[in-house]
Structure 1
Amino acid sequence: MRADACRNLDNLLQTGAKVLARDPSASIAHIAAEAGLDRRTVYRRFATREALLLALFEAKLDAAEQVLDEARLTEAPVAVALHRYVEGIVPVSRQWPMEFSSLESPDQGTEDRRQQLRGRIRAFVDRGIDEGFFRADVPREWVRKMLDDLVKLAAHSEPLMDPPKAADLVVEMLLKGAGCRTA
Structure 2
Amino acid sequence: MRADAVRNLDAVLHTGARLLADDPATSIATIAAQAGVDRRTVYRRFPTRDALLSAVYVAKLDASEKVLDEARLTEAPVVVALHRYVESIIPVSRQWPLHLRRLIRQDPEAAERADAQTGRLRDFLARAVDEGLIRADLPDGWALATLGRLVDNAAHDFADLAPGRAADVVVSTFLDGVGKR
TM-score with structure 2 setting the length: 0.94
SS at match of 1:105: helix
Aligned partners of 1:64 and 1:40: how far apart in 2? 30
Cα gap change, 1:140/1:132 in structure 2, threshold over 3 Å: closer, same or farther? Answer: farther
Partner of 1:57: 57
Q: Deviation per CA, 1:33-74: give whole Å up to 9, x if none.
A: 111221111000011111100100000000000000000001
Aligned partners of 1:137 and 1:7: how far apart in 2? 49
Aligned partners of 1:61 and 1:16: how far apart in 2? 15
Q: Deviation per CA, 1:57-104: give whole Å up to 9, x if none.
A: 000000000000000001111111000000000000000001234447
SS at match of 2:141: helix
Once the two structures are overlaid, the 10-residue window that deviates more, 18-27 or 41-50, is: 18-27
Partner of 1:66: 66
Percent identity between matched residues is 59
Could you tell me how far 1:166 is from its partner in structure 2?
0.4
Could you tell me how far 1:137 is from its partner in structure 2?
1.3
Cα gap change, 1:58/1:109 in structure 2, threshold over 3 Å: closer, same or farther? Answer: same
Aligned residues: 179
SS at match of 2:156: helix
Partner of 1:172: 172
Partner of 2:75: 75
Q: Retained in 2: the 8 A contact 1:24–1:102?
A: no
Partner of 1:114: 114
Aligned partners of 2:63 and 2:160: how far apart in 1? 20
Q: Retained in 2: the 8 A contact 1:50–1:104?
A: no
Q: Retained in 2: the 8 A contact 1:125–1:140?
A: no
Runs of 5+ unmatched residues, structure 2: none
Aligned partners of 1:17 and 1:27: how far apart in 2? 12
Cα gap change, 1:103/1:68 in structure 2, threshold over 3 Å: closer, same or farther? Answer: closer
Partner of 1:143: 143
Runs of 5+ unmatched residues, structure 1: none
Partner of 1:22: 22
TM-score with structure 1 setting the length: 0.93
Aligned partners of 2:33 and 2:129: how far apart in 1? 48
Once the two structures are overlaid, the 10-residue window that deviates more, 28-37 or 67-76, is: 28-37
Q: Retained in 1: the 8 A contact 2:146–2:174?
A: yes
- Kindly report the root-mean-square deviation, in angstroms, between the aligned alpha carbons of the 2 structures: 1.6
Query: Which amino acid is the alignment partner of residue 7 of structure 1?
Result: R
Q: Retained in 1: the 8 A contact 2:103–2:110?
A: no
Query: Which amino acid is the alignment partner of residue 17 of structure 1?
Result: A
Please tell me whether residue 96 in structure 1 is matched to residue 96 in structure 2: yes
